Structure 1
């Protein structure tokens, strides 16, 4: 186990009483660290095991919501179309993405997830959320309900960015 004295001072373990005195902005680094350790690390480990990059993961997540063209991917990731095409080629070779003719412009290919790609995104989501669910399970039933309502409010307040081509 890591030496607590070696931990970054701004993230040293604090008691509930100490944490309750902090402002929301002061609590965010702690919450961010929890999300990273409990959610992102397992997801990144899964990506490493299957030899995919975070950028490829972003492409898959967006394709989970709707189809894109190579140009959309390039714009969203701020990379060249050539680089986007290479990334998509890898995803196609892995069997996660399919290409089909774009009915609106036959010169372009429309990208979509295969069944394997859909399953992979769902596995990545599960790797992230299962650890967070374990954390939430430590709360009382009343606290879990409060947390559920707050998350619902945050989700409802978050702008719908799935309507445009951004992947970030």
Structure 2
């Protein structure tokens, strides 16, 4: 696009086709603007990979939401999560942890952290070698202490969610 008029025409034409590219473009523009303001006002610069991953995440979430009426208006989440994931209370964050184990003992732990509106805040993953899935699920929860960031302390609380009933029961009873 060479000028604003061409941009508006392209957006108008593409939006009528319900094209996800328009959604991705608009999310990219918004997140770049937000990053610029954060840099100007707070002196903190966000990486291009952070902006790109957030743009893709937000575009895919809203694209799915526009195609499937989830009936959950206060949560911006993927359609695949609609039956299982529930948002934390306002001003809380929720961490979903998981572990995987192959028969070769290659393993991985991961977590995704979301805000009370279901918005992606951050995620991480680690690979390791292990033989016990329960120990890996424990390790996934314990790995949170290495990932705590200063910005997380502005929230009222943290909810940890996992899929291993034994590990969750252990933490609830302790």
Q: TM-score range by the shorter chain?
A: under 0.3
Higher RCO, 1 vs 2 (CA within 8 Å, ≥6 residues apart):
1
Structure number with higher strand proportion: 2
Q: Report the TM-score when normalising by structure 2.
A: 0.24
